[in-house]
Amino acid sequence: MVANKLKELRHKAGLTLEELAEKLGTSKQTIHRYENGVIANIPHEKIKRLAEALGASPSELMGWEKSISEYDNLLPIKKKNLPLVGTIACGEPIYASEEYGSFVTINSDIDASFCLRAKGDSMIGARIYDGDLVFIREQYTVDNGEIAAVIINDEATLKRVYYYPEEAKIILTPENPKYAPLVYINEELNSIKILGKAVAFQSIIR
């Protein structure tokens, strides 16, 4: 397997036996033996050096993977930059700080207007953890039970929103049983503003 791939990758790189041998500090005859399978058990370190000289990965040289160029049906992924506009509480509401000037690159398929960094653990039931990026689509209402970024008297929080219009009540519900829902009724509703719906999040590998 290595013999066939070695010859193929060497030709693709436009290298002669002599040129590849020179890159590796070995003889033309040794490279020739590799390509003909005379030397079958090539040490790992030599595989690594051969791959580097050919501009390939060790896995590709071993025949374990294809180069990306071989997948002609792949479509390019379109990207866009979203402003990171602050931190949002996943716990008690916190002051809505802003970090204009910071941007996050995401897949353009995500229909979001901006992103916020989660702080706290009140939304872990929705798999949103402290430090995660939450992508928000700007809109001023959300459906019952959807997760939204909400401003309450200039403080920001991320919660599930439940409306009870017959009782003139909104309940903002966390996804962690150690936190109580936030209940707003009557005139208190005037202090609430929905910034947008959470449409995606990006977690830190833990």
Active site (catalytic) residues:
122, 159
Q: What is the largest CA-CA distance in the chain?
A: 88
Q: Give, in order, the Cα–Cα distances in Å from 150 to each of 61, 111, 145, 167.
A: 53, 18, 13, 20
Residues 196 and 139: beta-carbon distance below 8 Å: yes
Token output for 183:
């209940």
Alpha carbon distance 150, 142 (integer Å): 11
Radius of gyration of the chain (CA): 28
